[in-house]
Amino acid sequence: MKITIQDLPEGEEEEIIIRCRGMDEQLLKLVYALRAGREKLTVSRQERLFRIPPSSVYYFEAVDNRVFAYLEKEVYETKLKLYELEERLAGTDFFRASKSTVINLAKVESLSPAFNGRFEAAMKNGEKLIVSRQYVPVLKEKLGL
Amino acid sequence: MRKIRFLFNAFSRVTACVVIAVAVFTTILEPTDTVEAAVLWQIPAVSALCALTCLIYPWDRTLGKAEMGIRTLIHYLLINGIVLGAGFWFHWYRIDRIQSVAVMLITIALIFALVSAVTWAQRAEEAKQMNERLREYQEKKAKGEIMD
């Protein structure tokens, strides 16, 4: 595939044009990744709003109808529901790990078996999360297994 | 579909271990010259019931250590109930002989441990493969072959 990068004059809007004979899975992933890479999430903490790149999030967790974004050390709240985040971050590093969590695969240090068909994901910040057996196939698919 | 596949895997593991247990039981512990043909149906029937008890663990919810411990204990007791009940019904042992009941209880414990060990070994192998893929995935990402 040929990749062309052109310098733009000041003031002109940046644009990515994909010239192809049809959208295959790889191209779709690329489009999702481009969208997600540029997109920022609006989150809040102590009544202040922040815009953060999704790639900085380790995982999202739903607790009592509220959804929190866990970064390396900080925790923010997002107004998006877990399924909305899942849809918005489809094709990126994020995957549904249980009914209440969406995990960033890029922030997983290692995986180990847990009781009863589940797996434990050790995160790079030291936290440990459970991948419930319902979502283990999703994780395997993401890893190409 | 995933649940059915999971139950079928559990059923296969339990059946394999029960067959081994019956072989040990009928050749070493209580040697017999013949085994009734009916046992060929009794084994899968009891194994299927035992596999169904795996549903005691919630499918899509994470469990704390205490709840997991309690559910494992209930699971173990249920299996004891099913095997002892079926064994009594199918005349696998003599309920009036303590030694016979004790052999059954030990056999159940050994099969439970064996199935758990086999399952754990399979999961450990899966985890190893997943960790290899995870490393490859993250290396590709670091090289920029996979975008954020």
pLDDT of residue B148 exceeding 60: no
Q: What is the DSSP string of A84-126?
A: HHHHHTTTSSEEEEETTEEEEGGGEEEEEE-STT-EEEEETTS
C-beta of residue A103 within 8 angstroms of C-beta of residue A119: no
Yes or no, beta carbons of B62 and A93 under 8 Å apart? no
Q: Does residue A20 belong to any structural domain of this protein? A: no
* A123 strand-pairing partners: A108
Nearest residue to A117 via CA among B72, B79, B59? B59
pLDDT for the residue B115: 84
A49-58, B24-33, B47-56, B91-100: the lowest-pLDDT one: B24-33
Distance from CA of A48 to the nearest CA of B (A): 26
What residue spans define the domains of chain B? 2-143
| Closest residue to A111, CB basis, from B6, B72, B127 | B127
Predicted confidence (pLDDT) per residue in B3-13, tens digit: 788 888 889 98
Number of domains in chain A: 1
Distance from CA of A9 to the nearest CA of B (A): 26
More confident residue, A83 or A114: A83
Burial class for A86, CB neighbours closer than 10 Å (0-12, 13-18, 19+):
middle
Q: What is the overall mean pLDDT for chain A?
A: 87
Q: Does residue A6 belong to any structural domain of this protein? A: no
CATH number for the domain harbouring residue A45: 2.40.50.1020
Q: Does residue A2 belong to any structural domain of this protein? A: no
Q: Is A18 helix (H, G, I), strand (E, B) or coil?
A: coil
Q: What is the overall mean pLDDT for chain B?
A: 85
User: Does the pTM of the predicted model rise above 0.80?
Assistant: no
Average pLDDT over residues B41-54: 91
Distance from CA of A130 to the nearest CA of B (A): 7
Q: What is the DSSP string of chain B?
A: -HHHHHHHHHHHHHHHHHHHHHHHIIIIIS--S---TTHHHHHHHHHHHHHHGGGGS-SSS---HHHHHHHHHHHHHHHHHHHHHHHHHTTSS-TT-HHHHHHHHHHHHHHHHHHHHHHHHHHHHHHHHHHHHHHHHHHHHHHTSS--
Q: Look at the block and give the residue holding tokens 């970064």.
A: A71
pLDDT for the residue B131: 95
Q: Does residue A42 belong to any structural domain of this protein? A: yes
Yes or no, beta carbons of B137 and A112 under 8 Å apart? no
User: Which domain, by its residues, includes A56?
Assistant: 25-142
ipTM confidence score: 0.71
Q: Does residue A17 belong to any structural domain of this protein? A: no
Predicted confidence (pLDDT) per residue in B64-93, tens digit: 778 888 988 999 999 999 999 998 998 888
* A130 strand-pairing partners: A120
Please state, as a whole number, how many other Cβ atoms lie within 10 Å of the Cβ of residue B144. 8
pLDDT for the residue B62: 67
Q: Identify the band that residue A45 occupies on the pLDDT scale cut at 50, 70 and 90.
A: very high
pLDDT of residue B54 exceeding 60: yes
Chain B contact set for A93 (CB, 8 A): 141, 148
Chain A contact set for B134 (CB, 8 A): 105, 108, 110-111, 143
